[in-house]
Structure 1
Amino acid sequence: MLHNCQPPTTLLNRWLSGAANVNGDYGHLLFEQATPNDEAVLDGLRPYFESAHLDAREVFHRAARIDLHPDADGPGGNAQYPNCLPPTAKKGLFGEVMAGLITEAFQFVGGHRWSIPIFLFRYHAEVEAYIFDLARDPARVREISGRHGNDFIGLGIDPESGEVVRYIAGEAKWRAALTPSVMDTIMLGDYTGPPDNRIRANDGVWNEMNRGLPTPQGLEQIHKLLCEKARDAYAEVIVSLDRALLIGAAPLQRTDLVFVAGNRAARRQPGDAYLPLNAPPPEYTAGRQLQVVELVLEGGVELIERLYASLWSNR
């Protein structure tokens, strides 16, 4: 199943307040929670999250030989994806889905229109193995490492030709306590070196952005899934990706996205941004169009747990 749910823009405009800055090829968006995380927020987010996870849900349930909609007490009912995942994994997924949701809902640097025909969550072998084991032994609860590759990819599709002319590749991070020092660790890596000469390891998000390939594997994965699921509807997209994915071919234009979400720190004042507002930092050297998004929530951990517990529940 392709991702086919539009972002809940009415909810977003009520739930979040935003401030935008754009300077040339750099954009910064700050979203701060404006209303409580009530049932209306859960109801508004749920369809998009179910759509984002449905492809992986079908794949993982089929591989584990459990029903997509098992009874609560049926065999494998404890191992439904993504509800059954440990808290840390669900927080990571929340950040990735919210990155895609905001990408589709709001205008970013360059004014491009982005489409996410499918999320790539099925390409997470550790989750597939986890669900297979958990369905057969409910005691096998454990933490799961993150999925390799870009956290999400969106396509810029020309409305006239139907071809892909650009893509956006994103890194999404969630932190329960988002402080300036935590943000520095996300972006620059942990401190390393001797106690009297500590420096950042430079293995954070900025380094990941700089090392991003002009044509990442995620584009190949999207191409494969579109061929499998919607060859006719996305014929021009598939052909244009075919050309771009050839080794040595001219790559598509790429926009980078950094999305960081977390709970408001106690000392954080309304309007405070922890990432640069008007230009990328010197640590970002890729030279591409860059969009930065900060999402500041209240009670985000509880929201994530409630939201993921409610997906595909009997309502």
Structure 2
Amino acid sequence: MIRFRRVTLQPLNAWLVAQPSTCAHGNYQLRVWREVHANFGGLRDELIAYAQEALDDARTRIRKGFEDNLSPFSDPVDDPAAHYPAMLNRITLQGYLGETLAGLAVEHFGAFGETDWQVPAFLFRFHDQEFQHLDLINERILMGEPHDPDAESEKRPGRTGDDALAFRLDGEGKITHILALEAKCLVASNTAIIADAHGKLSAGPRRPSGIRELITLLSDYETTEAQAWVARLIDLYRDGFRTAKRSDGLAYTVGNSPVKPKTRLSWLQADAPHASYTADRPLDAMEFQISELRTLVDKLYRGA
């Protein structure tokens, strides 16, 4: 599938308010948005639809092989994806939120001064540990057994590899720019995780691993647009990465703001990349300070 949803900019800008930036480092930019929770209602339905569309490919993969055109999944008992992702652990859902906000930001706010970035699909289908976990959850529910999704025992490892990839195309539809995105989503800021995220981005190769995964994903769809993306991604995988420019992006979503915002606007460094980032590539650091992070996760993924 090729994603198509966007949200309306005016309510998005009213909910995530851009903070003034003073970063002057030539190869680095920091952008900070702070949530105004009172304005969430104006965006609620659009953001839920955007977050759920990002997961549709994962649902397709979960259901693959179970489809029956004569008997669609009208009963949750028969649907292997019925409890996806609502019954997964909150930590997993926070991860999904972080990756989705990364894509939303570059699609709506742009990156490096350009606003035509495209995220053709998210990579949630490759979270195999959670799909195996979902089978266990479905069995419990089917048998009437209790299930506490946020119990410590329900935590599963996160997916490895690129969190998301965004691209820019030229007039002929050829990929000219790649933006590899690393996403973190935490209730409270953590300096060790910030360092780890920068290190992972820095170690990334010129040809991100997510390109192969996107080819695999989009090859499952026979639409003209999906096949066009497959063709351009194969060209990029073979030798286009030598000419297409790779940049990096860190999307850091956090449930608290600095204690003294007048003297410290962000948890991420404002004047230069973190010391763990040693690559010679442009780096776009994006920080989202979400005061009602738990509430947002419940509304987007648990129908609260």
Task: Please classify the TM superposition score into its range, dividing by the shorter chain length.
Answer: 0.7 to 0.9
Out of 274, 281, 298, the position equivalent to 1:288 is 281
What's 1:200 paired with? none
The reply on whether 1:145 has 2:157 as its aligned counterpart is yes
Secondary structure at the residue paired with 2:219? helix
Q: Whose strand fraction is larger, Structure 1's or Structure 2's?
A: 1
SS of the residue 1:229 aligns to: coil
1:269 aligns with 261
Q: Which of the numbers 299, 306, 312 marks the counterpart of 2:292?
A: 299
CA gap of 1:38–1:236, structure 2 versus 1, over 3 A, is closer
Query: Could you tell me whether the CA contact under 8 Å between 1:14 and 1:35 is conserved in 2?
Result: no
TM-score for the superposition, normalised by structure 1: 0.82
**Counterparts in 2 of 1:81 and 1:118: CA distance versus 1, 3 Å:** same
Partner of 2:303: 310
Q: Return the letter of the residue paired with 1:29.
A: R
Identical counterparts, % of pairs: 24
- Alignment gaps of 5+ in structure 1: 189-203
1:154 to 136, 158, 166: 166
Q: Which residue of 1 aligns with 2:178?
A: 167
Residue 110 of structure 1: CA displacement? Answer: 4.7
Question: Residue by residue, what CA displacement relative to the aligned partner does 1:200-237 show, whole Å, maximum 9, x if unpaired?
Answer: xxxx1121012101112210111233333256325554
Residues of 1 paired with 2:229 and 2:75: CA distance?
A: 39
Match of 1:177 in 2: 188
- Deviation digits for residues 156-195 of structure 1 (CA, Å, limit 9, x no counterpart): 122x1011111111111111122xxx1x21122xxxxxxx
1:93 and 2:104 are equivalent in the alignment: no
Query: What is the distance in 2 between the residues matched to 1:48 and 1:297?
Result: 18
Listed as ranges, the matches of 1:138-287 within 5 Å are 138=141, 139=145, 142-158=154-170, 160-178=171-189, 182=190, 184-188=191-195, 204-230=196-222, 232-233=224-225, 237-246=229-238, 250=242, 252-265=244-257, 267-269=259-261, 272-287=265-280
Q: Is the 8 A contact 2:187 2:293 kept in 1?
A: yes
Residue 240 of structure 1 and its aligned partner are, at CA, apart by 3.4
TM-superposition CA deviations, 1:8-39 (whole Å, max 9, x none): 32221111210345643321110011242654
Whichever residue aligns with residue 228 of structure 1, its letter is: D
> Equivalent residue of 1:228, what SS?
coil
Contact 2:186/2:253 (CA < 8 Å) preserved in 1? Answer: yes
Superposed displacement of residue 89, structure 1: 0.8
Asked whether the equivalents of residues 163 and 181 of structure 2 are also in contact (C-alpha less than 8 Å), the reply is yes
Q: Report the 3-state secondary structure (helix = DSSP H, G, I; strand = E; otherwise coil) of the residue aligned with 1:28.
A: strand
User: How many pairs align?
Assistant: 290
Aligned to 2:49: 47
Structure 2 unaligned runs (5+)?
A: none
The alpha carbon displacement at 1:253 in A equals 1.5
Structure 1's 145 and 25: CA in aligned 2 closer, same or farther, altered over 3 A? same
Could you tell me whether the CA contact under 8 Å between 2:106 and 2:115 is conserved in 1? Answer: no
The question of whether the paired residues in 2 share the 8 Å contact of 1:90 and 1:308 is answered with yes
Moved more, 86-95 or 249-258: 249-258
Task: Specify whether residues 7 and 78 from structure 1 end up closer, same or farther in structure 2 by C-alpha distance, changes over 3 A only.
Answer: closer
1:116-147: CA deviation from partner (whole Å, max 9, x where unpaired): 11111111111221122222223565222101
User: Is the alpha carbon distance of 1:248 and 1:69 closer, same or farther for their aligned partners in structure 2, counting shifts above 3 Å?
Assistant: closer
Structure 1 residues 64 and 171 mapped into 2: Cα distance closer, same or farther (>3 Å)?
farther
Q: 1:242 Cα shift?
A: 2.0
- In 1, are the aligned partners of 2:107 and 2:115 still within 8 Å (CA)? no
1:122-141 superposed matches below 5 A? 122-138=125-141, 139=145
Distance (whole Å) between structure 2 residues aligned to residue 230 and residue 22 of structure 1 = 46
RMSD between aligned residues = 2.8
